[in-house]
A and B are shown apart, each in its own frame.
Chain A
Amino acid sequence: MIANLIVRRLVLGVITIWVMSALVFFGIEILPGDVADAILGQGATEETLHAIREELGLYRPAYVRYLDWLGGLLRGEVGEALGTGRSIAEMIGIRLPTTLTLGGLTAAIAVPLALSLGLIAAMYPGSLFDRAITFGTLIVISGPEFLIATLLVMLFAIELRWVPAVSYLSQDPTFQQIARAMLLPVMTLVFAVLAPMTRMTRSAVLNVMASPAIEMAILKGVPRMRIVLWHALPNAFAPIVNVIAINLAYLITGVVVVEVIFSFPGVAKLMVDGVQSRDIPVVQACAMLFCAIYIGFYILADVISIVSNPRLRHPK
């Protein structure tokens, strides 16, 4: 039963990514003009356009080009950037570790922190701590990421001069350089992700705490610590995992903004530059990468909640 559900979820995930790829690819087809126009710009003559189209295989039907592109995605060959002609896979390959480090570090700090803050707030609802958390997180989620970043830069880089405002990494950076370069971007992202995650954790736990099973535990004389950890937490587990997955969306938005603010040499910056120069193949490749990571985590969250559901683990 569980295996069945998990397989179904995985299949659904693959289908989702496939549908996304179709949307990403055919969305571009709506454009007036094509890649050839984009490469050559306005001064193009019919002959040169024709030559480029011939070279890129643009005269083939759309679905053939789509299958071609999809096959490339699966093999990790996603073509060349329009402007520079460099291999996109290579460009992404260089930048991906930076972006993953940024996201990974943020998650490593924000997830445990958000879970503990949310849990403590839910354990003492209405307390000073809880109200501070509720109010504080409301303030943070209301602010755009660049406000947080600006404030942090003004404080740490301009006023205190502890860290550089812009993250340039030399060819062979030392650990200290990396740490200093990463500090502000990670701090900004942690702030941005922490707030919604804490709020959602709090309400997920509170929701469980309002159930009759918890009242029963109180009336059995179970100590509060045990009520929270043994009675409430196992039931809040699935919603909390879900909360973490949902917040990946915030993390991705955050990564995009943060990489731009700090001129951070990551994949998101590559994508934004691609959008600005309308370098479609780059945008497509980066978008698919982010979406695949995102869907991957979503499915992981689903699988965890399926596995942790006692009704499914112990069928009748």
Chain B
Amino acid sequence: MSPAPGATAAPVRREFRFPPLGVYGYVCIAVLLFWLFAALFAPYIAPHTESAIVTGTSFAPIGDEGLLLGSDYLGRDLASRLIYGARTTLTLALVATILAFVLGVVTGFIAGIAGGWTDSVISRVVDAFISFPTIMLALLIVSIFGTSLAALVCAIGFIEATRVFRISRALAVNTMTQDFVEVARARGESLWWILWNEVFPNAFVPLSTDFGLRYTFSILLLSALSFLGLGVQPPYADWGSMVKDNMTGIFVGAAAVLLPALAIFTVTLSINFLVDWNLARAQKDISDELVK
């Protein structure tokens, strides 16, 4: 074989290919689709309404009285409540996450691109909020603004936004030091052009991974607040408050305590698994010899 270096290399079209997702991955996607379906079509698939008391028995066991998953402490259909709960939990967390991203990405990009004074001021303010443990900040905000759905969404959105700000700013700063941005700056491009054409397309993939993570944090934070009785209030029900309301059932080993908590768990685990798999693709190799 005679090599021809220096000559034009044959075009190597590197196809972007994901490593195989595996059985677990498909299970995760199926779980997420299932809950998405439940949340979207709750009124059509739930056998009963959210608040209808369908039996006189508290904590009816699974399958009893024609109730697929039994009843809760008031005798409401647990299956129906789980389906409606999906709607509340997943929607509120999603709105909060979207809010967090709009707020965090915009401020993060502005700080990262503008630099200087703008960056310092925004960063210091965010630092102050990040210095609070998440739950403390959440409790404080709730104690100030109360537990209306809007207040909850804003509280969680704001808390998560401080985290999104950090990653967005880091991504922007990182991209700004790349040679192709230097070239654009030297060309005389405006910051907006650079933001839209150079920074955003390259930040999209890492941000979308982060969106998954933030969504799970939002779900967990919302559930924790609801569980503490400081989240979603009746007549609405989310998974966290369902656990709290049915806590007395723990002594009879009721499904009503465990299932809402498990529902949260299936969603967060599925997202975490997909995010982890996504991150694993970029992991560093280390010596095989330390592996054996």
Contacts and interface: CB of A to CB of B under 8 A. Distances in A.
A299 B59 CA distance: 49
B144 A30 contact: yes
A224 interface: yes
Given A253-B133, A272-B228, A126 B268 contact: no
A15 B134 CA distance: 19
Residue in A127, A210, A224 whose Cβ sees the most chain B Cβ within 10 Å: A210
B144 A31 contact: yes
A256 interface: yes
B132 interface: yes
A145 interface: yes
Main secondary structure of the interface of A (DSSP, over half): helix
B272 to A, nearest CB: 5
Nearest to A13: B131
A144 interface: yes
A124 B118 CA distance: 46
B131 A139 contact: no
A147 B262 contact: yes
Interface stretch (B46-54, B168-176, B192-200, B250-258): B250-258
Interface stretch (A21-29, A90-98, A175-183, A233-241): A21-29
B131 A278 contact: no
B181 interface: no
A138 B133 contact: no
Contacts, number: 149
B94 to A, nearest CB: 17
Contact of A290 (B133, B230, B291): B133
Interface string B196-212: 00000000000000000
A150 interface: yes
How big is chain A's contact interface, by range?
35 or more
B65 interface: no
A278 B265 contact: no
Chain B contact-residue range equals 35 or more
Contact of B133 (A139, A278, A291): A291
A257 B228 contact: yes
Given A150-B258, A249-B133, A271-B139, A144 B223 contact: yes
Contacts of B287: 209, 214-215, 218
A210 B282 CA distance: 14
Contact of A287 (B136, B227, B261): B136
Interface string A131-156: 00000001101111111001101100
B150 to A, nearest CB: 15
A154 B287 CA distance: 44
Given A143-B268, A154-B250, A252 B216 contact: no
Interface string B271-292: 0110010000000111101110
A18 to B, nearest CB: 10
A19 interface: yes
A290 B227 CA distance: 20
B273 A272 contact: no
A35 B140 CA distance: 15
Nearest to B219: A144
A206 interface: yes
A209 B143 contact: no
B114 interface: no
Contact of A275 (B129, B133, B142): B142
A147 B265 contact: yes
A298 B133 CA distance: 11
Nearest to A148: B261
A23 B128 contact: yes
Interface of B: 127-129, 131-136, 139-144, 216, 220, 223-224, 227-230, 240, 243, 247, 250-251, 253, 257-258, 261-262, 264-265, 268-269, 272-273, 276, 284-287, 289-291
| A-B pairs with lowest CB-CB distance, top 6 | A142-B269, A147-B261, A142-B268, A253-B135, A252-B133, A275-B143
Interface of A: 16, 19-20, 23-24, 27-28, 30-31, 123-127, 138-139, 141-147, 150-151, 153-154, 158-159, 165, 206-207, 209-210, 214-215, 218, 224, 227, 248-249, 252-253, 256-257, 260-261, 271-272, 274-276, 278, 280, 283, 287, 290-291, 294-295, 298
